[in-house]
Amino acid sequence: MSAPPLSVPGPRALPLLGPSAELLRFVLDPIAHIGALFEKYGPIAQLVVGSPTRIVSTERNVPGTVFVYGPDYNRALLTNHADFHKCALSGPLYPEEPLSPRTRPLTRMLTGLFHANEADHRQQRRLLMPAFHRSRIESYRDEMVAVTEELLSEYRPGTTRDIRPDMMYVTLRIATSTLFGGELAELGLQIGHDIESWATTLRSANIVPFDLPLSPYRRWLDLSGDIDRRVREVIRRKRENPGLGRDMLSMLIEARDEGGGQLSEDELIGHAGVIFGAGHETSSNALSWTLLLLALHPRILADLCDELSGKLRGGAPTFEDLADLPLLDHVIKESLRLFPPGPLNHRIAARDSALGEYPIPAGTEVLSSIYHTHRMPDLYPDPLRFRPERWQTSDPGPYGYNPFSAGPRMCIGATFAWFEIKIVLALLLQRFRLDLVPNQRIDRYFGITLAPAPRVLMRVRRTERGFSRAAPVHGRVREMVDLS
């Protein structure tokens, strides 16, 4: 018996253009387009009714793509692991199978813990967990502090900085050192830069997905091959010198499960790429958005500076200090609410199932919008306001607030990210004050993560008191945050 058709409401394809018009609207601004669908059709909506459109799925004939938001749908999607699987990043423009030596490295880059399911996910997560234990993360503190200090040594009062590349630099260096180890710093940095370029090339590569001379897609394949070879070289060196370092990759190489099983070389490469890319990009964007929000809300910034200087006296926090820095915690929570680094959480129906009253045939893509869940007035009164104080009493639950997902698939690096973000902010805000350059345009860019674009220009000042009114800004940031 065949599955019922996908009956979720949504727009129909336009005559002649077919589903292309809706797909284009989504690609140009996913956040705005999904929001428009929710406004018109409710908390569950289809991208194009009656068309097998797909965004991330590897399947050739998907029933369609569905968007949802809200705690109930999030819970259904994130807890029913047998019904809804994660899948490797793919889509109409990605290679669907490793057809040649050219595309095999790319398929490895598109896999990892994020895309394993059920028993495979549980087994691999157990192997990875020791590398993300609190004691291991605490051991990375000194490196996080050293990298941040190195950046801040370049800051001079009166100069202007673009905060986004500064935060990318810090998190790139931290990710490189903690994942690959200081003894292979040069090779690790090269891998880090390649992964960064790989991620930024993703969108342009898929406009014309053919391996042609000078095409972005060829550049993407070349980068995949370079990363593959270099990570293999790191693995070879570490295996030749066991115990050389206590970085994450060394721990993953040595990891064994109860039966003595270990990660294969291909799995190590996939995990390294995902851990590095996810940890580096999400943290850098979270830092950039948080610094922007603080500059736009000088009273909150002043209170935070008082808390930091009073507790830390110019130093960096330890794990024990974090419990005594509630405003720092609330500022970051509120920033991640307004600007979750991963705004969409994607799944694919592994079998015929349902979401609420709607049957969901096997193969259907389902994308949960964390961005729109975090802006629900029922969960967050005055949702477009930056109000860190709401976290003194607010408790929306794990499916109403989940910047790092929730349940058994909660991001394995969440504790690492929280610690890293707090260390960087604590050191920077005790040394300098950053004022926005007035009248600049700040929009959003959503590739894999949500980033401010094109720049966030800030003027460096000393930490003297006297916080003035925030400089005026333009662009889509004013739609995302109420600055009235």
Q: Annotate 373-397 with DSSP letters as a single string.
A: HTT-TTTSSSTTS--GGGGGT----
Q: What is the pLDDT of residue 37?
A: 97
pLDDT band at 439 (very low <50, low <70, confident <90, very high): very high
The residue among 370, 386, 446 whose CA lies nearest residue 38 is 370
Angle, in degrees to the nearest 10, between helices 265-296 and 326-338: 100
Lowest mean pLDDT, pick from 85-89, 138-142, 457-461: 85-89
Residue 460 has pLDDT above 90, yes or no: yes
Integer Cα distance of 396 and 401 in angstroms: 6
| 179 occurs within a structural domain | yes
Cβ-based neighbours of 30, under 8 Å, separated by 6 or more: 343, 344, 446
Q: Name the band, by pLDDT with cuts 50, 70 and 90, for residue 383.
A: very high
- Are the beta carbons of 477 and 292 closer than 8 angstroms? yes
In a domain, 231, yes or no: yes
How many helices (H) and strands (E) the chain has is answered by 18, 14
Q: Does residue 7 sit within a domain?
A: no
In a domain, 207, yes or no: yes
Is residue 415's pLDDT more than 90?
no
Q: Is residue 13 part of a domain?
A: no
User: Radius of gyration over alpha carbons of the chain, in Å?
Assistant: 22
**Domain containing residue 417: CATH number:** 1.10.630.10
Angle at CA of residue 172, ends 123 and 242, nearest 5°: 50
Distance, in Å, from the CA atom of 247 to the CA atom of 139, rounded to the nearest integer, reads 10
User: pLDDT digits over 44-62, tens only?
Assistant: 999 999 877 777 655 556 7
Residue 311 has pLDDT above 90, yes or no: yes
Number of domains the chain contains: 1
Q: What SS3 state is found at 65?
A: strand
Please give the average per-residue pLDDT across 213-226, as a whole number.
85
- Residue 96, pLDDT > 80, answer no
Q: Is residue 148 in some structural domain?
A: yes
**Whole-number Å distance between alpha carbons of 219 and 211:** 9
Query: Considering the domain boundaries, does residue 6 fall inside one?
Result: no
* % the chain with pLDDT above 70: 85
Q: pLDDT digits over 254-277, tens only?
A: 877 777 777 788 878 877 777 776
For residue 195, the enclosing domain spans 20-480
pTM: 0.89
* Model pLDDT, residue 93: 36
Other CB atoms within 10 Å distance of the CB of residue 24: 11
User: What proportion of the chain, given as a percentage, has pLDDT over 90?
Assistant: 46
Would you say residue 9 lies in a domain?
Answer: no
